Structure 1
């Protein structure tokens, strides 16, 4: 079948009025949103990465369901650090072709990572590559210490055609960062032909902070992956198998992603067999609507790489959210949550068992720290809070010298649109807190993510439910992000502890796993005592799929590769 006929057939298949049971060589995925980009240099959302992981490939990826073991992709073999953990020399796989027909060489890999460091748009994932390779998450527009000489010295090809990374200091998370789906190698010659950066020192300044979403490469990708782009419109992305793929022709020849906003419509298409995989909503939806239905298999008790909490901002920078702005029963002051007794009271007032029972259908697990329990460094021995209204009342009475108990308060807390778990978490807390003292009140509001994402970074949210999914398989991605005053969430909680900052910096600078684990335990112990967050129970992943889909199992499921809902590459799937 020609590419043109394949695209036409898939277009008909994906039209809601013309849905039909999917063929054996075709995988249909339905989700609530379409992709925003097909350029790995800017992609950071799950919907875009779902398609990009099939078009582009990084140097290596995770082996099976492991979060720590790697297997080569575009690297010929896994490298080892030299120079005290500061240098990584990578041999590249030979005989690899891009979709354009161009042969992959070291020049393409060099171009790719320099491009990431040069552009480093604030909405991309390049901040963590830059942090490793340049010692700062910022691009040259924000940090004048970022120069062309530093970029060119950080990643280059040697005379033997090997790719050489040179870090300013050891980073134990660097190899995990390079396994990120957005670290896929770009076809240099093809990108330049599309009008992209030409890779030279003469032009790099003009590309600093560039929004690659607007570039032609996003619409005309050329990767080394098992699938190439056939069609992309507002509601559909259509991929077809790449005949020149170095890993061989996959059993699934066509991949079709359709945007279907309504959950009920997605569920009906899935039950009819018109869709093989869907964005299935919460566990409650899976349990009540899909489990036990003909032709449906449900994988349950799967690991997760997410962590969530209710943030209590100790320096609220939005006067309009504070009510009266005083401890007078009509609002709260900006530093309301700076009192540790108040934060502890909130943690005791939350009914964790109710949340697990009603929201997670009994499948949730309490966490001791904001790190997935599947990650190295997680320590189940760290103390946790339990629902205890008596202890909550005692702590409330101590807060602010007794003023909180005497005067009461009004808290205005928000969740983002569609964040059901966040909404329910606030409702459970509201119920627990308001039952303790009639002077206590929590108002719950909803706001779009476009608004909330800006407010949280400005420190304008009061109490916010928020989750973080892993960018890369290293505990630093959670521990530094949540607990450090230099981390992504610092403006959302404004909690700072000099000891914690020091320990997290030390953990970033050593490759000694045991030493890192000890440091993370120390951080978690301090956080348990200071309660800067209210830790939310973690849900185990549950994934429904059509029963004829093969190559998916609990053993192969990797939560770091969960963009297509299977935790497995599509090229490894087949249908019976």
Structure 2
């Protein structure tokens, strides 16, 4: 009881409490946590926690993004011309509830993903492999219970068997995604989640699990188990029944602290072990080289960020007058390619690299990591050019944009210095071109950004993508396909691009896939589909009492800011 009282104090305390205890990791950030249900996890804020409470069949080996190793799956075989995968599961594994993990739990977990699959979750990724479509049974009437049931089953030997409709060279990589974790079926059903039976599966098709019963009370097999969460803090504690090596850190606390200055002060005092930074310029000036701070630089960056120009804005409340009369914009304002090109030329890329990234940034040609196969460095890219921006603004909407002006709102994630800087640079440059142009900059909480983006409400937002699995498909299809996850955020559609991307999924020939990706990239440049934000060189920093973090242990596929799982960390 005494320990619980101490932990409760830590949870609700501000940044003023004394140095973080040796057995406790304290992380301060500006984000909320959209969900703790793996089947609804599709953002890095949720992923940073879920990946430590739950476990997947496979994970990445060390710092590699291409080598996989078993986690809850110990070994696997591939047969039937690459369409059948049979997994042996780890024995003597317990859930946080005390229930023993069996093949039934794994089967339930994947069937639950296929049944509930809806637009804001990652479940379409596994559905594409197991059902041959990212749709659910409401949107695709050919999906039946029998079809879902056949896709994933337990055989008589207790092995988990996946049966794919066609060969998928990315299937194993997909299984390493945080959201495709094994949940406690008996516990979940007891909470009132889907029964796992055919009898009620239709009632759960497309159900949003963001605020599910498992979100409120998770039970995984991970090294840490959930204790409590409120609007300002999250607490997990080491799971005594964990099958693997006992974690060195007893407790992990995530505190929400919106102000970067407050996070910095807490960090320098030692009240927080790790914090969300304010970008390279701010972090270098305020934290690098300070006593007690370890700084690690030149880390790989496998994320991509863009400004999304929404061609079909669904929220009338963001449109002002809803007309090109100088008092707002129409819902299809960005459907004119001249508008998109004008905005693309108006963004000052080099200023962002110089001022915010302190010179440690690079303009990419495509919205994917330049270390991934399929990236084409020869594709043209937009550069800051006020004359070109002016010329395209004068062409836009038959001259009405230049003549009448506009008012629009650019949204960014509250607390994100990078996203705020991006929006402010665009605002400054666009408004300098014509006094009739007005760009309002507004912050939204992360969960609100995700939800409104899923509904196509935001006119202009800066948002990034961290890979779910290490393959070009996870970026190119996600950003550029009209069936991709981000399609609703931009409503950009190009028939040729859709055709080329489908073709990349129909071949295992790497050279052919790369050729098709180059076609997509060139077309996206021509049509100014997105404003590509320069990619920074990753870095991390933490208190020098932290052991187990650093370049040798950093894997960019892990959501947590240090690129490693909590169980790998300790404090001296």
Length-normalised TM-score, structure 2: 0.89
Which of residues 439, 446, 454 is equivalent to 1:443? Answer: 439
Aligned residues: CA RMSD: 3.0
Distance 1:326 1:197 in 2: 46
- Aligned partner (choices 73, 76, 80) of residue 75 of structure 1: 73
Give the deviation of 1:153 after TM superposition.
0.8
**Per-residue deviation at 1:235?**
3.9
Listed as ranges, the matches of 1:432-511 within 5 Å are 432-436=429-433, 438=434, 441-446=437-442, 448=444, 453=450, 456-511=453-508
What is aligned with 1:107? Answer: 104
Compare 203-212 and 514-523 and name the one that shifted more: 203-212
- Alignment CA distance shift 1:345-1:232 (3 Å): closer
Residue matched to 1:568: 564
Partner residue, 1:308? 305
Question: Does the 8 A contact of 2:277 with 2:283 survive in 1?
Answer: yes
Q: Confirm whether residue 9 of structure 1 aligns to residue 6 of structure 2.
A: yes
> CA shift at 1:223, angstroms?
2.1
* 1:213 CA displacement: 5.3
The aligned runs of 1:241-390 (5 Å cut-off) are: 241-316=238-313, 335-390=332-387
Counterpart Cα distance in 1 of 2:209 and 2:489: 28
**Counterpart of 2:48?**
50
Deviation string, structure 1 residues 281-311 (Cα, Å, up to 9, x no partner): 3333322322222111122232223222223
Cα deviation, 1:455-483, whole Å, max 9, x if unaligned, reads 55555544433323323332222211211
1:512-554, Cα deviation, whole Å (9 max, x unpaired): 3332222111111121222222211122233220112111112
Cα gap change, 1:393 to 1:164, in 2 (>3 Å): same
The secondary structure found in structure 2 opposite 1:76 is strand
- Residue 169 in structure 1 maps to residue 166 in structure 2: yes
Contact 1:332 1:409 survives alignment (8 Å): no
1:188 aligns with 2:185: yes
In structure 1, C-alpha distance between the alignment counterparts of 2:407 and 2:337, rounded to whole Å: 17
Distance in 1 between residues matched to 2:470 and 2:154, nearest whole Å: 26
- Point out the more displaced range, 260-269 or 58-67: 260-269
Tell me how far 1:404 sits from its aligned partner. 5.8
Structure 2 CA distance for partners of 1:279 and 1:326, relative to 1, 3 Å? closer
From 17, 23, 39, the equivalent of 1:41 is 39
After TM superposition, give the deviation of residue 241 of structure 1 in Å: 2.4
CA contact (8 A) 2:412 2:461 kept: no
SS in 1 for 2:525: helix
Kindly indicate whether the alpha-carbon contact (under 8 Å) linking 1:7 and 1:231 is maintained by their aligned counterparts in 2. no
Secondary structure class of the residue paired with 1:560: coil
Q: Is the Cα–Cα contact under 8 Å of residues 7 and 238 in structure 1 kept in the other structure?
A: no
SS in 2 for 1:91: strand
| Aligned-residue offset at 1:182 | 1.9
Partner of 1:133 in structure 2? 130
The answer as to whether partners of 1:37 and 1:218 remain within 8 angstroms in 2 is: yes
Deviation at 1:406, TM superposition (A): 6.5
The yes-or-no answer on 1:226 pairing with 2:223 is: yes
In structure 2, relative to structure 1, the CA distance for the partners of 1:67 and 1:329 (3 Å cut) is: same
Q: Name stretches of at least 5 consecutive residues in structure 1 with no aligned partner.
A: none
C-alpha deviation, 1:57, in angstroms: 0.5
Which of residues 412, 415, 423 in structure 1 aligns to 2:411?
415
1:249-289 deviation digits (Å, cap 9, x = unpaired): 12223223333344333322221212212223333332232
Once residues 227 and 535 of structure 1 are traced to their aligned partners in structure 2, the CA distance between those partners, rounded to angstroms, is: 37
Deviations 1:166-196 (A, max 9, x none): 2223333332222111222122233333343
Q: Distance in 2 between matches of 1:156 and 1:264?
A: 52
Question: What is the DSSP-based 3-state SS (H/G/I as helix, E as strand, rest coil) of the residue aligned with 2:133?
Answer: coil
Closer, same or farther: CA 461–123 of 1 in aligned 2, 3 Å: closer
Taking the aligned partners of 1:374 and 1:297, their CA distance within structure 2 comes to 26
Equivalent pair of 2:278/2:418 in contact (CA under 8 Å):
no
Give the deviation of 1:353 after TM superposition: 0.9
1:331-358 superposed Cα distances (whole Å, 9 cap, x missing partner): 6665554444443343333221112112
Q: How far, CA to CA, are the matches of 1:429 and 1:90 in structure 2? A: 50
> 2: CA distance between counterparts of 1:433 and 1:99?
53
- Secondary structure of 2:39 counterpart: coil
Mapped partners of 2:255, 2:328: distance in 1: 46
Q: How many residues align?
A: 569
Deviates more, 1:543-552 or 1:98-107: 98-107
- Bigger drift between 365-374 and 456-465 goes to 456-465
Contact 1:307–1:370, Cα closer than 8 Å, also in 2: yes
Does the 8 A contact of 1:109 with 1:185 survive in 2? Answer: yes
Is contact 2:321–2:327 with CA below 8 Å preserved after alignment?
Answer: yes
